[in-house]
Amino acid sequence: MFLSIDKKDFIEAVQKTAKFAQKRFSTLPVLSCILIVSNNKGIKFRATNLEVSIDFNVRGESKSQGVVAVPAQLLQQVASSLTKDSAVTIEQTGEMIIVTAGGAKSIIKTIPYEDFPSIPLPETNENNIVLPGSLLKTAIESVASCASTSAVRPDLASIFLSIDSGILTTVATDSFRLAEKKQTLKTPVKNMSLLLPAKNSVEILQTIPDDEITLIIDEHQIACVWGGNTLTSRLTIGTYPDYQQIIPKEVFTETTLLKKDFETALRHTTIFSDTFQKLKVNFAPDDNTVIFSSRNADTGESEERVSAKVKGKPIELSFNYRYLQTPISLIPTESITLTASGIGRPLLIRGVGDTSFLYLVMPMNQ
């Protein structure tokens, strides 16, 4: 193998693929590698951790073809150390590859590539979904932080993604909070639903472009395809809980306030939260006021009163303050609505006039 690749393209290819290589110890050392493939179809950099995989197309010149598995961490360190804007050459010599750029030369020992797993790709079909990558990113970013990090419930450790009547909906919950994001697709597609492991969503967000991509989906995996590149993720097998039934329909107290006032009150009062990160929120319709307060027996206490439009009955609820902070950056409007449905019932948070995003948070025991 002898390849010549522009430095910028080489660095991009290494950066895009290295994060897909398995970082922890594995009985298959080749999983910690980037597989470099040169054939009559071009140059490809591939990596996988068996959950998520990348097949990345690299522009360059191939003077002789071949396949080689290179430790991803070493190749990434070599790529990041290159300074001169010159072509990068990769030459295979026995068990070694020689990476040269300008006056810099690195010799890296390779690993036998025969055990590198094949990356199965879903077959293109009439149900492919074409959409902007930015739309998929927004769909995932809006809910991913609410997915469970526990492996006990694989369904809750996943993002529920569905398309119904041209509406793309994503949902995630860890049973303490829930986020839902709805977006309209410009091109009608067949209704579908799937469970995307939340841990795989990080690589998707960091890798796919904002421009148009194609989603190819089968029973076990989803592939994001663009410009000759393919990112593939396994899907979670199972059924997502019927989350609609926990979204409150009744209104006990409805409060509208400025998002910046909400954020400021949280920042001030959480200084004195206890070890359970508990924050009390008192909705007072008689005074059109929301009172945020926290107390720590060891350090002190704080309270902040915020002017708001409060309708309904007075109610005091306690929350993990971090769960109240989560939706602030996800709501685009200047004002928000907090809808309480009673003691022990979830609080619904939405942007005023924005029906595309909702957030639920369960109160703590008093």
| Helical (H) or strand (E) element with 335 | strand 335-340
- Cβ neighbours for 363, distance < 8 A, ≥ 6 positions apart: 317, 318, 319, 343, 344, 345, 346, 347
The label of the residue with tokens 């009547």 reads: 165
Q: Which long-range contacts (CB under 8 A, 24 or more apart) does 72-75 make?
A: 72/14, 72/17, 72/18, 72/21, 72/32, 72/33, 72/34, 72/47, 73/18, 73/21, 73/23, 73/32, 74/108, 75/14, 75/18, 75/34, 75/99, 75/108
pLDDT tens, 330-356?
A: 999 999 999 999 999 999 999 999 999
pLDDT tens, 11-52?
A: 999 999 999 998 876 778 999 999 999 998 899 999 999 999
Please give the single-letter amino acid code of residue 321.
Answer: Y
Is the model's pLDDT at 232 over the cut of 90? Answer: yes
Radius of gyration of the chain from its Cα atoms, rounded to whole angstroms: 25
- 243/173 Cα distance (integer angstroms): 9
Average pLDDT over residues 294-314: 94
Q: What is the set of domains in the chain, with CATH numbers?
A: 2-109 (3.10.150.10), 129-241 (3.10.150.10), 247-361 (3.10.150.10)
- 181/143 Cα distance (integer angstroms): 7
Total-model pTM: 0.93
pLDDT at 86: 82
Average pLDDT over residues 90-108: 94
Average pLDDT over residues 118-132: 82
Q: Over pLDDT 90: what percentage of the chain? A: 86
pLDDT tens, 247-300?
A: 999 999 999 999 999 999 999 998 988 878 999 999 999 999 999 999 988 899
pLDDT at 121: 76
- 35/337 Cα distance (integer angstroms): 51
pLDDT at 366: 62
Q: Which has the closest alpha carbon to 325: 282, 364, 267?
A: 267
pLDDT tens, 180-231?
A: 999 999 988 899 999 999 999 999 999 999 999 999 998 899 999 999 999 9
3-state class of 145 per DSSP? helix
